[in-house]
Chains A and B, each alone.
Chain A
Amino acid sequence: MQHTTRLTGLGRLRRAGRPRRLLALGAAGVLSLGVLSACGNEDAKSADDPAEVVEISVATFNEFGYEALIDEWNADNPDIQVTQKKVGTWDEAKENLYTKLAANSGLSDIEAIEGDAMPAILAESDAFVDLTDPELDGRWLDFKAEGATNADGQMIGYATDAGPEGICYRADLFQKAGLPTDRAEVAELMTTWDDYFALGEQFIAKVPKTAWYDSTGGIAQAMLNQVEHPFEEADGTINVENAELQALYATVTGNIAKGLSTTNAQWSDDWTAAFQHDGFATMPCPGWMLGVVEGNAEGIVGWDLADVFPGGGGNWGGSYLVVPKQSEHPEEAQKVAAWLTAPEQQVKAFEAKGTFPSQVDALDEPALLGTSNAFFNDAPTGEILSNRAKAIAVQPFKGPKYSDVLQAFQNALLRVDDGSNTPDKSWETFLSDVAALS
């Protein structure tokens, strides 16, 4: 019996022989390819640039509209080559930023910072290069320049864009509901939040399968940006139990029950899919959102942009470029950052992705004012967003904890959105989340 086992064992071995040899061959092939390509890279490097080339990396999120600009820079500056690292959302970028700040290595030469988080970055000024440059005085709108300047008067970041908001809407769905579709007429119907929500109730009565706006979190953020002290007192102490915030919370959670919101989490898969499924009819649109809408709603006809924002003007977002001290080439990085945030470049970024300039000289550029967007029914986006920028009356106070509290607040809204919590219970959790921050 032992004899037979051994024989079958051998037989198995022999049969297994061929695939194994093939596998070994494959592995060897892959290995040698890897080695070859590694050599190839080195060769290319040493051949192409005898004089050393400085490589600058720029980390951005969402859409900054930098693709063409970076190509332009690289063509003009063979000695400083710029590459872009993009991630999907600011929150991903934020995590990466903090982790690598703590590790004190691994950050890009230029990091993009979302406006709401800039106060927290200023609190960590030691880790970033002082970018103060007298030549650039007066380049930016006052509130953007102040937002990037720390208590010692050092400018830590160069402002990229601002986020004046209009209302994006689906004219085709408006027509279905018997509402006016012309952007001037639409604008007249939503000058206050009450009007906007009332119009929404009218809309969902006619088109029940479509919600009025894209997400509870998005509307809440738009409204927050009109509150003077949403989360913090002027001295930076956290105070979330203020009447204005509570009223805002009651309004947006009340709208969930009325069916005005999709209850999709902003930036989730369902939210993205809703663009293709007639999920909602309107949404607050800062300039940088235009590129996002166009991407998500590809192939959908009917989007338009109204020159109005409920409750006056509002600024949502708008970012900064900072240079971490970790960078091996801080001077070159500063040069690139200054170039990218110059008015001429920002206008081009606006034309590419709708990121509205925060630079004073860019606002009067004919190129900006003349910009229209074919996807949004040829809306004169440049002119509309300029008007929206002028309408901004309130700049909310945002302290170092603003971004963290905002995340907790968004989670509180999501717990009501998904029905897992009542508004009251979710608010309690929010309070304890905020208490855990300090």
Chain B
Amino acid sequence: MTHVDAPSGKDIATAMPPGGRRARPRSARGLTRRQRLSRWDVRLSPYLYVSPFFLLFLVVGMFPLCYTAYVSVFDWGLLSGKGEFVGLDNYRDALGNPTFVKAFVNTISIFLLSSGPQILMALVLAALLDTQLRGRTLWRMSILLPFVVAPVAVAIIFGSVYGDEYGLVNETLGRIGLGPIDWHTDRFASHVAIASMVNWRWTGYNALIFLAAMQAVPRDLYESAAIDGAGRVRQFVSVTIPMIKPTLIFVIITSTIGGLQIFAEPRIFDDITTTREGGPDHQWTTMTMLIYNTGWGRGRDLGQASAVAWLLFLIIVVFALANYFAVRRFARGVGR
């Protein structure tokens, strides 16, 4: 298998003549103004070309982030507006709120129940679609269908599936003699129900991204692996997974960020409380729902909502970094 490996970047660098680097500054001294301008042009214009993204990011990304931090240290009502400076009081109140701990645990639980199975299913689906199927385009397009359906519509359909008394699942369970599951009372059951909605929506989307990466894997790698006697599973583990590592990291990080910000599904899953705050006992309130409930619910306290938002931001950063390092080690280990 080694013969297909391209020479790495390091090899090329060391192959260059040693005098090459030193020769450049000598010629720079004798430049005309026009030549210098042109060099500046070459050096600077790339940054100019990428700047629109960063300028836009400053406006719609950085500014809200900083402004939220600013709001979070004030007494700030939804209608009353900015009040007194209170320092870190909002953070203390947020952390002292028993609902915060509940929301944190719920978020992690729903995240694990959704992102984990979702990525595994997406990988398997992508691997299946990466074969010589009849009507591949049809299959590939149809796994994206759930993604096109609005989350609100998904939640309404799943709402009647997971009804406590007259829902599809519980009526079916009743037919075969099993007891009903309290989807809207039992904490874990509610998380499973919500995770299934999230997975239904996102699995196909992630599978398509994996599929794209898998198609870029050179086919001759598989041929050599086959000659070396590797079966389908071994090929998948030893060739596909290491080759799509960057995509794997990308999908895991984006789904971590998305998974920790789940909002629409749990909110609409709550047809119990009229305020849709995640169950009367906050059985499935997530962090983003807590932000909304604090800022726009009964309290109408934007200051504390901003504090919760910042805490959520920090949590996401920690999780994304942890995932990044974990996946890098995992994929490297598999590659060997």
> CA–CA, A90 to B271, complex, Å?
14
Interface presence of B219 (CB below 8 A): yes
Q: Which chain A residues have a beta carbon within 8 Å of chain B's beta carbons? A: 1-2, 4-5, 8, 12, 16, 19, 89-91, 95, 98-99, 101-102, 124, 264-270, 273-274, 277, 279, 404, 407-408, 410-412, 414-415, 417-421, 429, 432-433, 436-437
A274-B166, A407-B298 are known contacts. Are A421 and B281 too (CB-CB below 8 A)? Answer: yes
> CA–CA, A417 to B182, complex, Å?
12
Contact assessment for A410 and B296 in the assembled complex, using a CB-CB cutoff below 8 Å = no
Contact with A along B252-282 (1 / 0, CB 8 A): 0000000000000000000111111100110
> CA–CA, A279 to B163, complex, Å?
14
Contact assessment for A273 and B166 in the assembled complex, using a CB-CB cutoff below 8 Å = yes
10 closest A-B pairs by CB: A414-B280, A273-B166, A91-B274, A418-B185, A265-B272, A268-B271, A404-B298, A415-B280, A411-B280, A270-B165
The contact sample of 18 A-B pairs, CB cut-off 8 A, is: A5-B220, A90-B274, A95-B296, A98-B78, A265-B273, A267-B271, A269-B167, A270-B163, A273-B163, A274-B165, A279-B165, A407-B274, A410-B273, A410-B274, A415-B280, A420-B185, A420-B280, A436-B298
Contact with A along B76-99 (1 / 0, CB 8 A): 001100000000000000000110
A270-B166, A411-B280 are known contacts. Are A8 and B219 too (CB-CB below 8 A)? Answer: yes
> CA–CA, A101 to B302, complex, Å?
14
> CA–CA, A414 to B79, complex, Å?
29
> CA–CA, A432 to B98, complex, Å?
10
Contact assessment for B272 and A414 in the assembled complex, using a CB-CB cutoff below 8 Å = yes
> CA–CA, A101 to B81, complex, Å?
11
Contact assessment for A273 and B299 in the assembled complex, using a CB-CB cutoff below 8 Å = no
We find that the number of chain B residues with CB closer than 8 angstroms to chain A is 35
Starting from the known contacts A417-B280, A420-B185, 20 additional A-B residue pairs (CB-CB under 8 Å) come to A16-B137, A91-B274, A98-B78, A101-B79, A264-B165, A265-B280, A269-B160, A269-B166, A270-B165, A270-B166, A277-B166, A407-B273, A410-B274, A412-B280, A414-B273, A415-B280, A415-B281, A418-B184, A418-B281, A433-B298
Interface presence of B283 (CB below 8 A): yes
Least CB separation from B184: chain A residue: A418
Least CB separation from B140: chain A residue: A19
Contact assessment for A102 and B79 in the assembled complex, using a CB-CB cutoff below 8 Å = yes
Interfacial chain B residues near A429, Cβ < 8 Å: 281
Contact assessment for A89 and B165 in the assembled complex, using a CB-CB cutoff below 8 Å = no
* CB of A432 to closest CB in B, whole Å: 8
Least CB separation from A432: chain B residue: B98
Q: Which chain B residues have a beta carbon within 8 Å of chain A's beta carbons? A: 78-79, 97-98, 137, 159-160, 163-167, 182, 184-185, 215, 218-220, 223, 271-277, 280-281, 283, 296-300
> CA–CA, A7 to B167, complex, Å?
53
Contact assessment for B137 and A19 in the assembled complex, using a CB-CB cutoff below 8 Å = yes
Interfacial chain B residues near A4, Cβ < 8 Å: 220
Interfacial chain A residues near B298, Cβ < 8 Å: 404, 407-408, 433, 436-437
Contact assessment for B271 and A265 in the assembled complex, using a CB-CB cutoff below 8 Å = yes
Interfacial chain B residues near A90, Cβ < 8 Å: 274
Contact assessment for A99 and B280 in the assembled complex, using a CB-CB cutoff below 8 Å = no
Contact assessment for B273 and A411 in the assembled complex, using a CB-CB cutoff below 8 Å = yes
> CA–CA, A269 to B156, complex, Å?
10
Residue from B98, B219, B272 within 8 A of A418 (CB atoms): B272
Residue of A407, A419, A432 most packed against chain B (CB within 10 A) = A407
> CA–CA, A411 to B278, complex, Å?
11
> CA–CA, A419 to B185, complex, Å?
8
Least CB separation from B224: chain A residue: A1
Contact assessment for B185 and A267 in the assembled complex, using a CB-CB cutoff below 8 Å = no
Residue of B97, B272, B275 most packed against chain A (CB within 10 A) = B272
Contact assessment for B271 and A269 in the assembled complex, using a CB-CB cutoff below 8 Å = yes
* CB of A371 to closest CB in B, whole Å: 30
Least CB separation from A22: chain B residue: B137
Residue from A1, A95, A412 within 8 A of B223 (CB atoms): A1
> CA–CA, A404 to B159, complex, Å?
26
Interfacial chain A residues near B182, Cβ < 8 Å: 418-419
> CA–CA, A268 to B300, complex, Å?
25
A410-B273, A411-B273 are known contacts. Are A1 and B220 too (CB-CB below 8 A)? Answer: yes
> CA–CA, A360 to B131, complex, Å?
76
Interfacial chain B residues near A419, Cβ < 8 Å: 182, 185
